[in-house]
Amino acid sequence: MDKKAYSMSFALLIVITLIILILPTYWGITIIIDRYTNLISTYDLENHLIIHKISYSKNSIFYTDKIIDRTYTNTVDIERFNENVLNQLLGTLPQDVGVRLVLEFNDNKMEIHINKQVYLLALSRSDIYERIDVNRIVRLKGLEGIGKLSISVVFKENV
């Protein structure tokens, strides 16, 4: 067998190996990765981070002592319990996320929302919306007694 024929047959074997083994393996791995990356959902984590941001940020609804720069996460500042503070804190949320905070104290009830329409829609469509609720007993800055703070975040499931 001459050198030219030998090198041609060797090249042909390499091409056949590529076609039979490597390309189907590559395509199979690509399909598997594509299928399972669509199933990964970070909505639950993102919404727990929203609750964490409301609960522990210095510019939140909770009282912050400016002298020692400490936020008391068990004391709600009534003057800061409004939608403007919440909007400044959270910024622009995705269109499929709604937030509701309810503060109950001394037979009073205060309620604030971000994306209220999404929140109300989620109450009636629990088949496609998830809901995370956190309830806390809190003190109220400037008032005697305690109150109940409920933080609810709703979000559309990754369907």
Strand order in the sheet with 97-105: 62-65, 70-76, 129-140, 146-156, 97-105, 108-114
**Residues 134-154: tens digit of each pLDDT:** 999 999 988 888 999 999 998
**Tens-place pLDDT, residues 4-51:** 777 778 788 887 877 887 778 888 888 888 777 666 666 677 778 888
Q: Look up residue 92 and give its amino acid.
A: T
pTM for this predicted structure: 0.69
Q: Where along the chain do its domains lie?
A: 1-40, 43-156
